[in-house]
């Protein structure tokens, strides 16, 4: 795992084929068509970092973290469509948990679209549990402690 590079971003944007996929990936905030500028729009935010999982130079997945004090927020998790269904999500989420710990976080939260079965299974397997913090009916809010 390494910090996401500018050169990774066009590849990652290319993994999002349409507005429905964009909604699953990033929620309602970015509008279609998805652009590199939208992907990079949080980079200057306090506590934000973007991470790439790579096979050599080739990026195969990414996630983003925002850490505020002891709380971390995991977002924009994605795996290269050509690599999906091979068990990469769980280790990617574990890398995110480890990174959040190194930033001093003691808890981590996320939101996921309720029908996103692969993502929800991966988060549950990594110890996330549902909370009542969801703000829309089609969204699950999840959280776990970081030991
Ligand atoms: C969500 C995502 C990261 C999962 O990555 P992945 O590498 O395909 O997932 P895995 O192969 O590790 O599978 C994770 C779990 O989902 C299951 N799964 C995988 N693909 C599935 C599918 N299409 N339908 C139902 N379950 C599926 C796996 O069996 C596994 O569950 P298990 O551990 O209980 O067997 C990937 O599908 C993705 O990038 N989706 C688009 C972006 C997105 O939705 N991001 C989530 C933002 S919250």
Show pLDDT as tens, one digit a residue, over the chain (147 residues). Answer: 999 999 999 999 999 999 999 999 999 989 999 999 999 999 999 999 999 999 999 999 999 999 999 999 999 999 999 999 999 999 999 999 999 999 999 999 999 999 999 999 999 999 999 999 878 899 999 999 998
Buried b vs exposed e over 122-134: b needs ≥16 C-beta within 10 Å?
bbeebbbeeeeee
Q: 89: Cβ below 6 Å to ligand 1?
A: yes
Classify residue 63 as exposed, middle or buried by CB count within 10 Å of its CB (0-12, 13-18, 19+).
Answer: buried
What pLDDT is recorded for position 133?
87
Instruction: List the residue whose alpha carbon is closest to atom 28 of ligand 1.
Output: 118
The domain defined by 2-145 folds into Aminopeptidase (3.40.630)
Q: 90: Cβ below 6 Å to ligand 1?
A: yes
Q: 81: Cβ below 6 Å to ligand 1?
A: no
Please give the Cα distance from 48 to 52 (Å, whole number). 14
- What pTM was computed for the model? 0.97
**Sequence spans of domains, the chain:** 2-145
What pLDDT is recorded for position 134?
79
Instruction: List the residue whose alpha carbon is closest to atom 32 of ligand 1.
Output: 121
Instruction: List the residue whose alpha carbon is closest to atom 18 of ligand 1.
Output: 118
């Amino acid at each position: 795992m390494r910090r996401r590079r500018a050169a990774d971003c066009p590849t990652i944007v290319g993994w999002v084929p349409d507005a429905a996929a964009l909604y699953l990936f990033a929620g309602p905030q970015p509008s279609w068509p998805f652009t590199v500028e939208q992907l990079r729009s949080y980079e200057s935010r306090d506590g934000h970092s973007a991470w790439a999982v790579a096979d050599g130079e080739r990026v195969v997945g990414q996630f983003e973290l925002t850490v505020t004090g002891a709380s971390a927020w995991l977002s924009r998790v994605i795996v290269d469509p050509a690599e999906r269904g091979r068990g990469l999500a769980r280790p990617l989420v574990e890398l995110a948990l480890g990174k959040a710990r190194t930033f001093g976080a003691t808890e981590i939260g996320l939101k996921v679209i309720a029908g996103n079965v692969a993502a929800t299974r991966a988060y549950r397997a990594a110890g996330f549990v549902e909370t009542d913090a969801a703000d829309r009916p089609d969204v699950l809010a999840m959280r776990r402690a970081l030991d």
